[in-house]
Structure 1
Amino acid sequence: MELQQIKDIKTFVQLKTKDDRSGHGMDHIERVVRNAQKIAQTEDCDHFVVTAAAYLHDIADDKLVTDQEQAYQEMITFLQTHQISTERIKHIMYIIQNLSFSQELEGGKATLSIEGKIVQDADRLDAMGAIGIIRTIYYGGHKGNKIYDPEIPPRTLQKKSDYRNESTVINHFYEKILLLNERLNTAYAKKIGQKRQRFLEDFLEEFLEEWD
């Protein structure tokens, strides 16, 4: 039963992400799911909730959809029609609505369950390291942002609206990506994060040296 429900959720997500050109497509989703499942093996958690939330975590992201509330409701309706319990649906939706970096800027860090912490870590790991660099550049190009401008310093983001105001691609590393490592929750993710953080720092050092 649960295996079929996960397969149905995956199919739903594939349909929703098939036209993505922002770096939040199915390849990203699959990596987050794999990361989440690996982390889940090291924690006492509900593996179904972890996998379902990992698949669904970007489907109603306000930088990807025009009507976030409609996207949330469509997701809830989908889960209900696939006989997923009300308790699990509430759990999955809470994770999705409270794991993002921008949400932390808006309302502070949410109190997440271990399942939420796992999915949050899995998502953040995919924004770090080599893949994180590619995704940041890809998204910046998608939004038409400059690669770099030494006259535009990185900002210290205070609220969600600041985050949504685009900056340069390189600034995004300093404004968000480099900050993720210290926000990881689980021991497994922290171990991976250390390596990816070093790679990010080395890349930026090399980039700035070449730019100058």
Structure 2
Amino acid sequence: MTQLDQIQQFMQQVLGNDETGHGTDHIERVLALSNTILEHEPSADPFIVRAAALLHDTYDDKLFSDVVAAKQRVADFLNSIDVTKAQQTAIFYIIDNMSWSKSLDGAAPLDINGQIVQDADRLEAIGAIAVARTIEYGVHAHHALYDPNIKPRHHMDKKEYRKGSSTAINHFYEKLFLLKDYLNTDTAKKIGAGRHQFMLDFVHQFEDEWQLKK
């Protein structure tokens, strides 16, 4: 069994019961998207990219109340399968700086490996599956689906973004509609364009139906 196979098994153990839209199916899609982008980025390190893609939600502060302990569990596991310290440093650097919420407070710049994983994760937040995941997470977090009297928030820092006082539909305006302009690689930009248009069409149709315009 390869190190990546073992990392995949570890991820499945950690996230197998997730109900927020960040479960194993999400991780597998991020991995697949990372592999697609890797085909066009020969300078990238496939192991670092794939490992970071598999592990990127295993200590996410949306999912774990004790992030320090969750991250240490990942480090202990990587040590147990002889992932080198240099590889671990690269993997953790990507995970610690790739998220949208982190970027609101000024994340450190990513190299091509991190840009690939970040693009793959952001593509997962654009398109039809993103619509379903947004609603799924909104239900989990007890957010309202839509309220035209609650306006989208703008110019937020991470603390404000994490308050979660907005609605599921507002999340499109607050984050998802913005993502296509923050993709790094040409491959991701091509994939993201069609997905972005789908979300625009969905939200506009939703709002029109809510207001009985259609």
Q: TM-score, normalised by structure 2?
A: 0.96
- One-letter code of the match for 1:110? A
Asked whether 1:73 is paired with 2:57, we answer: no
The answer as to whether partners of 1:35 and 1:122 remain within 8 angstroms in 2 is: yes
After TM superposition, the structure 1 = structure 2 runs for residues 168-207 of structure 1, keeping only pairs within 5 Å, are 168-207=167-206
The answer as to whether partners of 1:157 and 1:163 remain within 8 angstroms in 2 is: no
Q: Which residue of 1 aligns with 2:136?
A: 138
Give per-residue Cα distances to partners, 1:52-85, cap 9 Å, x unaligned.
Answer: 0000001110010011111111111111111111
Distance, in Å, in 1 between the alignment partners of 2:120 and 2:138 is 22
Displacement of 1:138: 0.6
Q: Which residue of 2 aligns with 1:13?
A: 11
- One-letter code of the match for 1:32? V
Q: Which residue of 2 aligns with 1:23?
A: 21
Question: What is the identity percentage for the equivalent residue pairs of Structure 1 and Structure 2?
Answer: 48
Unaligned segments of structure 1, at least 5 residues: none
Q: Which residue of 1 aligns with 2:86?
A: 87
SS at match of 1:118: helix
Unaligned segments of structure 2, at least 5 residues: none
Aligned equivalent of 1:114, options 112, 115, 119: 112
Displacement of 1:157: 3.8
- One-letter code of the match for 1:88? Q
SS at match of 1:45: coil
Give per-residue Cα distances to partners, 1:7-46, cap 9 Å, x unaligned.
Answer: 0000000000111000000000000000001101100210
Distance, in Å, in 2 between the alignment partners of 1:76 and 1:50 is 17
Distance, in Å, in 2 between the alignment partners of 1:109 and 1:42 is 25
- One-letter code of the match for 2:172? F
Give per-residue Cα distances to partners, 1:130-181, cap 9 Å, x unaligned.
Answer: 0000000110011111111111000004211111111100001100111111
- One-letter code of the match for 1:141? V
- One-letter code of the match for 1:197? H
> For this pair of structures, how many residues does the alignment match?
209
Any runs of at least 4 consecutive aligned residues in structure 1 with deviations exceeding 6 A, and if so which? none
Q: TM-score, normalised by structure 1?
A: 0.97
SS at match of 2:60: coil
Distance, in Å, in 1 between the alignment partners of 2:205 and 2:179 is 21
